[in-house]
Structure 1
Amino acid sequence: MRGKRRLNAEINVVPYIDVMLVLLIIFMVTAPLLTNGVEVDLPDAPAETLDVENDEAIVLTVTADGELSLNVGDNPDTPLSPGEVQRIAARIISARPDAPVAVRGDGAGSYGNVVRGMVMLQQAGAERVGLLTDQVETDGGSD
């Protein structure tokens, strides 16, 4: 009588590991698609500055008390209603679709006012809306 084979009672976990890796990949791919909100293109570090001082850029300024103004027209400092902002911005964006669009928000103001300004510009046809900030000087050394 030759040697009898015994039954192997171990669990083979390799298929379970394969399934877990596939699920992990699926969740990693779908998670960014599930977020809701305003699309913002964040610059890579170090960030390049955008020349918004020229006549090509469309800049919406949001003051601390929520007043809105566009840098276009005869009086760029004149406060505008949200409807006027959308109407003027839509006209300019349709004429110059490649012009950079940005929001300049007061640091003491409400974050909600800045977001509403971004949404107005997106509804007016802007595909990408940037945020303007003051450039911070760094000395590069460590303290």
Structure 2
Amino acid sequence: MKVQEENELYDEINVVPMLDLAYVLLVIFIIMTTASVQGIKVNLPKASNSPSLAKPQTKAITINESGQIFLDAYPVTLDELKTRLSQLKAANPELPVVVKGDTVVQYGKVMEVLELLGQLDITQLGLVTQRLVK
């Protein structure tokens, strides 16, 4: 075993701590970029210029191209949606809701959601569309 003397200079650099730091920074970067992605991406229909209906306490109901229903990016069934919205409506009687339906989703699926909102007496309702690009 070689023992270094006190005044002897090192001829190599230990890069292991630097690699550990690089890996930690890489993991943090990956986690932060994937955490910033929110919501469900759907292809919205086009509409004329209209003001934004979203408010901070607004609940978003999304129906994707396969007909799956989401409440704020969480998949739900119609029964689960009814339960959750009735709880939210009890907490906030003026609960605003927006419905986002993909352009290829069946019209009947959107009508089921709208009928459910009518049963729960949710009157603050908006349908989300894309702005028409001229």
TM-score greater than 0.5 by the shorter chain? yes
Question: Please, what TM-score do these two structures have when normalized by structure 1?
Answer: 0.54
Question: Please, what TM-score do these two structures have when normalized by structure 2?
Answer: 0.57
- State how far apart, in whole Å, the 1-side matches of 2:53 and 2:125 are: 12
- State how far apart, in whole Å, the 1-side matches of 2:71 and 2:49 are: 28
2:75 alignment partner AA: P
Give 1:49's match in structure 2, choosing from 48, 52, 61: 52
CA offsets 1:87-121 (integer angstroms, 9 cap, x no match): 00111112112232111101111111111111112
What's the % identity of the aligned pairs? 24
In structure 1, the residue matched to 2:79 is: 83
Distance 1:92 1:49, change over 3 A: same
2:111 alignment partner AA: V
Unaligned runs of at least 5 residues, structure 1: 1-44, 72-76, 139-143
- State how far apart, in whole Å, the 2-side matches of 1:123 and 1:81 are: 16
- State how far apart, in whole Å, the 2-side matches of 1:46 and 1:62 are: 22
Q: CA RMSD in A?
A: 1.8
1:96 alignment partner AA: N
- State how far apart, in whole Å, the 2-side matches of 1:59 and 1:46 are: 20
- State how far apart, in whole Å, the 1-side matches of 2:117 and 2:92 are: 14
- Larger strand share, 1 or 2: 2
- State how far apart, in whole Å, the 1-side matches of 2:90 and 2:131 are: 30
Matches within 5 A, 1:98-137: 98-137=94-133
Matches within 5 A, 1:28-39: none
Number of residue pairs matched by the alignment: 87
- State how far apart, in whole Å, the 2-side matches of 1:46 and 1:60 are: 21
- State how far apart, in whole Å, the 2-side matches of 1:68 and 1:61 are: 6
In structure 1, the residue matched to 2:40 is: none
Contact 1:90 1:125 in 2 (8 A): no
- State how far apart, in whole Å, the 1-side matches of 2:126 and 2:111 are: 11
In structure 2, the residue matched to 1:64 is: 65
Distance apart, 1:46 and its partner CA: 6.0
CA offsets 1:36-62 (integer angstroms, 9 cap, x no match): xxxxxxxxx86322124x3x0011111
